[in-house]
Amino acid sequence: MTANPTGLALGVDVGGTKIFGVVVDDQQRILNELRIPTVQGGMRDWGEAVTEEIAVVIHSLHHEAGLAIGSLPICVGVPGMVDAAGTLIYAPNLQSATQAPMLTQLQRQFPDVAIRIENDANCAAYCEFRAGAGRGHDDMTMITLGTGIGGGIIAGGRPFRGGRGFAGEFGHMVMDPKGPHCPCGASGCWERYVSGSAVERMTAEALIQGRLDTIVAQRANKSVALTGEEVSAAALAGNREARALLEPMASWLARGIAVLATVLDPTCVVIGGGLTDVMKLFLPEVRDLLPTLLEGGVLHPGIDVVPAFFGESAGAIGASMLAREEG
């Protein structure tokens, strides 16, 4: 065991399917990393079980790096609303983790270690702002397109968390009160129109209407229903049916960015998450549409809309940055 070499920090990104932990230096280089599957939920104490897994990742990364527990500041990004006490109050895609006192549990296991719990999209936003696609933009908004939509806000060069740490839950802005029903209870939430689940819904509807015949014909295994991921891959490979199917996401993405611009006035919007690559196909259209949707039209100063640089590592690296700087 050695003392902490200057500037190392540990970041963990907790997702619905995997937990990804990294030890990162102050140049954003990953020195060690560890991925383990997320324990599957449903049980009442899921929050406790996943926090136990996070503790295992923290232990293992210290061990691999030859560092004593306590030598690295730690930040854990989680997919939900976290309060100031480090309790995961509500996670839309991990409902059984509701009200999980994650920080209390981790501090019991790691007393006297600087640990913080942070919203995962805030971590990703901070990473892209400090070292990625949003560099130089002190007022930046990050939109992560995954199963749903996550959001992170940088205001004046700092993460903006709101009064209780719940700011940036963009996915549940209602875009059309008569729109599709959302598991959150409302209708027409933004993530019904632009997200992995939106791609799944559009795919299912298109299959019924026979609008994806060329893709269906090309598939080897015809006994399994076409997935949204296959449609995204086909669009990226140049399939016109797939591209046409996904194209409405361009206008919905632009409309949501227009609402965010109205409220937050960012100079840059970074698009990240699992759908980043497929959305790159539509960013030129989004950039064309956006000025027509903003109050003041052409008088409104431009907003850079750019794809994320760090990809899926942004959350864990951003967590390590926040651990180092705010731990």
Q: Scan residues 251-270 and list those touching its own copies (CB under 8 A).
A: 255, 258-268
Size of site (CB under 8 A) for its own copies: 54
Q: What is the dihedral of CA 171, 172, 174, 179, to 10 degrees?
A: 80
What sign does the dihedral 257-259-264-266 (CA atoms) show?
Answer: positive
Structure tokens at 130: 């400090």
Instruction: With contacts defined by CB under 8 A, name the span among 1-9, 52-60, 67-75, 177-185 that binds its own copies.
Output: 177-185
Is residue 92 close enough to count as binding its own copies by CB under 8 A? yes
CB nearer its own copies, residue 208 or residue 299: 299
Tokens 């540990």 belong to 10
CB nearer its own copies, residue 177 or residue 238: 177
Structure tokens at 119: 């919203």
- What is the contact mask toward its own copies in residues 128 to 167, using x (rule: CB under 8 A)? ---------xxx-----------x-x-x----xxxxxxxx
Is residue 247 close enough to count as binding its own copies by CB under 8 A? no
Q: Given candidates 211, 293, 325, 327, which one binds its own copies under the rule CB under 8 A?
A: 293
- What is the contact mask toward its own copies in residues 31 to 70, using x (rule: CB under 8 A)? ----------------------------------------
Q: How is residue 113 annotated by DSSP?
A: -
Is residue 325 close enough to count as binding its own copies by CB under 8 A? no
Structure tokens at 318: 């951003």
Which long-range contacts does 81-84 make (Cβ < 8 Å, 24+ apart)?
81/119, 81/164, 81/165, 81/166, 81/169, 82/117, 82/118, 82/119, 82/165, 83/164, 83/165, 84/164, 84/165
Query: Would you tell me which residues interact with its own copies (CB under 8 A)?
Result: 81, 83, 89-90, 92, 98-99, 137-139, 151, 153, 155, 160-170, 172-178, 184-186, 255, 258-268, 292-293, 295-297, 299-301
